[in-house]
Structure 1
Amino acid sequence: MARYTGPKTKIARKFGEAIFGEDKNFEKRNYPPGQHGNARRRGKKSEYATQLMEKQKAKYTYGILERQFSNLFKKASASQGITGEILVQLCESRLDNVVYRMGVSTSRSGARQLVSHRHITVNGEIVNVPSYNLLEGDVVAVREKSKSIQAIEDSLASNSNVYEWLTWNSDKKEGTFVKVPARLQIPENIKEQLIVELYSK
């Protein structure tokens, strides 16, 4: 499956929440998409359907494809600790996600593009792999030649989010991935236990 490039509102409506951030269209029609809209009767979902929906929501939220997500789960399973929590932490430690969290881009898809187009450095070296896994203490910065890009400046100007596991220096346009966030610090509404149950079948 290739990466989804269709209307984001349609996906948000499917899950019943604005998983891609603020969305005026979602607020107007916050019911599942389809020809009959709200009038369509929907029976109770099976346990499998609920688990699958949660996995799909996590994948769309972080912009990760099936094989990548499956590999992340295997890595989380092999690690010591609670598998579901580690899975979400691995998603949060991706370079594209951290670039988004730092406010360099207004969306994860935008952050992924910035990384792919070589606008981002890690510890002074250009990294163009969005799935690059950051370690504690890694310094993420906007490349010197890219600091004047208007989209980056606009995004940083409108960003008001502060996360305990990240630091950001506006003057240098660089930040530090201080530590892997605890599950309670991650704001995403993902029931990771359902994903673990799905993969455990």
Structure 2
Amino acid sequence: MARYNEAKCRLCRREGMKLFLKGDRCFTDKCAYERRPYAPGHAGRMRKKMSDYAIQLREKQKVRRMYGILEDQFRKYFHQADMMKGVTGANLLILLERRLDNVIYRMGFANSRDQARQLVRHGVFQLNGRKANIPSLSCRPGDVLTVREKSRKIPVIMEAQEVMARRPQPGWLEVDGANFKGTVTGLPTREDIQFPINEQLIVELYSK
């Protein structure tokens, strides 16, 4: 499966904002976007007038890259959100928030969604007492996520535990860091997603 393997900081610079793809590094002076807050390439500093389509496309790319979703996967999420009751754009973001890799990141057991996805694939976590190694699993209220006993001393887990205190916890998640356990207490709402996203632009893009 195709996956972006180049410098992740280029994606932040291309979208013109921090996507927090490198975890705690994004909060330090080492952040590439802080040092070069313009698009990569020779023409990165040039101001270009963007068409409506370009603005919609950039918004879609921003969300897709933030959650680490491939184009085909993202389109499937959109179609699923469109079939649900309610506002399509909000439904899309809620579906993305419920992904297992995102829940692990939100709980603070990983420094980034990319790291969470890697840990899931290596079988570090259990969901409701069973091994969970599919990052795209959709979590439901009442689900209990735990770090497997033999994986609790992995350096990245220990590091994430130290960073957890500095990261705000969503209201729909409950974390017991001492016991390496987290519980999904409800469904996320649009208000829980504080990142600046204009999901209506994505709806307009796919509605053409």
| Same fold (TM > 0.5) | yes
Which is worse superposed, 105-114 or 163-172?
A: 163-172
Who is 2:207 aligned against?
Answer: 200
What does 1:7-22 align with in structure 2 at a 5 Å threshold?
A: 7-20=7-20, 22=26
Does residue 168 in structure 1 map to residue 175 in structure 2?
A: yes
Instruction: Write out aligned runs for 1:1-201 (5 A).
Output: 2-20=2-20, 22=26, 24-38=31-45, 40-42=46-48, 44-160=49-165, 161=167, 162-201=169-208
Residue type of the alignment partner of 2:174: T
Deviates most, 89-98 or 172-181: 172-181
Unaligned runs of 5+ in 2: none
Secondary structure (helix, strand or coil) at the match of 1:81 reads coil
* RMSD (Å) for aligned C-alpha atoms: 1.3
Deviation at 1:2, TM superposition (A): 1.4
Alpha-carbon displacement from aligned partner over 1:154-176 (angstroms, at most 9, x marks no partner): 11111122221100112210100
* Deviation by residue 1:62-113 (Cα, 9 ceiling, x = unmatched): 0000111111111101100000001000000000000011111101000000
Which letter maps to 2:135?
P
Shift, 1:41, TM fit: 4.1
4+ runs of 1 displaced by more than 6 Å? none
Q: Which amino acid aligns with 2:186?
A: K
Q: For 1:73 and 1:174, how far apart are their aligned partners in 2? A: 31
Distance of 1:9 and 1:170 partners within structure 2: 29
**Separation in 2 of the partners of 1:36 and 1:69?**
29
Offset from partner CA, 1:126-170 (integer Å, 9 cap, x none): 110000000111011111211111210111111122221100112
Q: For each residue in 1:178-197, what CA deviation from the matched residue of structure 2 results, as whole angstroms up to 9, or x when unmatched?
A: 11111111122211100011
The structural deviation recorded for 1:36 is 3.8
User: Percent of pairs identical after alignment?
Assistant: 46
Q: Residues of 1 paired with 2:44 and 2:83: CA distance?
A: 43
Q: Distance in 2 between matches of 1:98 and 1:194?
A: 25
Q: Which secondary structure state, in structure 2, belongs to the residue aligned with residue 171 of structure 1? A: helix
- The letter of the residue matching 1:103 is G
Name the amino acid aligned to 1:127: A
How many residue pairs are counted as aligned between the two chains? 199
